[in-house]
């Protein structure tokens, strides 16, 4: 009896503290690490003052930009005429600075310094100079976590801009990704530009991803291409966040998706 009591007296504090530690960790876990992210954002602030860098004032680029805007407008108008898709989803963007990388080695993530206070929400997609970067997977008031396109768990429906050959892209944890085609003999060659296709549910279609660096046509069942991602993910400093609502709940059962898409 005395032993038991002595044991309790001795270990009461210890077990209490252990419970407290695990309890706190569970609390943080439940909030998706929000307190830590907020603290990180707060501490990283002094190192990331300033506004997004000025665009290169290059006459040629300006010229091209204007032409793109013009073409986009024309395209928009034509689409409205045929009532194809009213909203391109690229209207309002939030520039954000990259303040952190992934907290372990198995995920390819970024932390950016804009959060729900700036209207960022889960499911928004993120672009950098050159094309698609990834999508927002969690948001705190002043920071957001981006799952990169180069993460091995990222799969995106993609197509070749020139020939419309369809396939999907899978990240490879580096600056390259693998594209698998749906057809046996896709019309593809090295250097072709890859953009997101209408099959991608998490991203709007037509966002540039990268270029074909290599094609392996012997691959079974369908040929594979190695894609060089156009955004330099490893030294990315600024990104743009575009509001977007994914087309469906990824976790929904197939039957539900069909009814959701065709009400």
Q: Write out the two tokens for 10.
A: 């001795």
The C-alpha atoms of residue 67 and residue 126 are separated, in whole angstroms, by 23
Q: Which is nearer to another protein, 123 or 243 (CB)?
A: 123
- One residue of 7, 12, 16, 25 binding another protein per CB under 8 A: 25
Q: Residue 152, interface with another protein (CB under 8 A)? A: yes
Alpha helices in 55-170 (DSSP H): 59-81
- Alpha carbon of residue 199 to chain centroid: 16
Shortest distance in whole angstroms from residue 17 CB to another protein: 8
Q: Which is nearer to another protein, 84 or 106 (CB)?
A: 106
Shortest distance in whole angstroms from residue 131 CB to another protein: 19
- One residue of 78, 106, 190, 237 binding another protein per CB under 8 A: 106
Question: What burial class does residue 97 get, using C-beta atoms within 10 Å of its C-beta: 0-12 exposed, 13-18 middle, 19+ buried?
Answer: buried
Task: Considering only residues 27 through 86, tell me which ones interact with another protein, judged by CB under 8 A.
Answer: 28-33, 36-37, 39-40, 43
Q: Residue 206, interface with another protein (CB under 8 A)? A: no
179 has which bridge partners?
169, 225
Task: Considering only residues 117 through 146, tell me which ones interact with another protein, judged by CB under 8 A.
Answer: 137
Question: What burial class does residue 20 get, using C-beta atoms within 10 Å of its C-beta: 0-12 exposed, 13-18 middle, 19+ buried?
Answer: exposed
Q: Which helix (H) or strand (E) holds 176?
A: strand 176-181
Q: Which is nearer to another protein, 95 or 152 (CB)?
A: 152
Q: Using the Cα atoms of residue 232, residue 238, residue 241 and residue 242 in order, give the sign of their dihedral.
A: negative
Shortest distance in whole angstroms from residue 166 CB to another protein: 18
- One residue of 51, 220, 234, 259 binding another protein per CB under 8 A: 234
Coil, helix or strand for 204?
coil
Q: Residue 252, interface with another protein (CB under 8 A)? A: no
- One residue of 103, 190, 252, 258 binding another protein per CB under 8 A: 103
Q: Write out the two tokens for 240.
A: 């743009």
- By the criterion CB under 8 A, which residues form the site for another protein? 10, 18, 21-22, 24-26, 28-33, 36-37, 39-40, 43, 99-107, 109, 111, 137, 152-153, 170, 172-174, 234
């Amino acid at each position: 009896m005395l032993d038991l009591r002595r044991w309790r007296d001795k270990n009461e504090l210890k077990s209490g503290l252990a419970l407290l530690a695990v309890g706190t960790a569970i609390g943080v876990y439940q909030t998706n690490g929000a307190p830590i992210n907020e603290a990180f954002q707060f501490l990283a602030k002094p190192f990331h003052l300033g506004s997004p860098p000025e665009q290169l004032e290059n006459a040629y680029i300006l010229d091209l930009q204007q032409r793109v805007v013009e073409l986009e407008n024309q395209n928009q108008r034509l689409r409205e005429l045929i009532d194809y898709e009213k909203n391109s989803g690229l209207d309002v963007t939030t520039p954000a600075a990259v303040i952190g990388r992934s907290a372990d080695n198995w995920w390819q993530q970024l932390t950016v310094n804009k959060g729900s206070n700036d209207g960022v929400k889960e499911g928004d997609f993120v672009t950098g100079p050159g094309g698609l970067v990834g999508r927002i997977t969690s948001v705190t008031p002043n920071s957001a976590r981006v799952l990169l396109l180069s993460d091995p768990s990222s799969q995106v429906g993609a197509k070749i801009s020139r020939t419309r050959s369809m396939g999907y892209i899978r990240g490879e944890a580096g600056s390259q990704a693998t594209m698998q085609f749906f057809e046996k003999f896709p019309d593809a060659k090295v250097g072709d530009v890859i953009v997101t296709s209408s099959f991608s549910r998490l991203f709007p279609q037509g966002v540039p991803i990268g270029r074909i660096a290599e094609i392996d046509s012997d691959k079974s069942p369908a040929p594979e291409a190695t894609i060089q991602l156009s955004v330099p993910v490893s030294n990315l400093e600024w990104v743009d966040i575009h509001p977007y609502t994914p087309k469906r709940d990824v976790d929904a059962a197939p039957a539900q998706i069909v009814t959701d898409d065709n009400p």
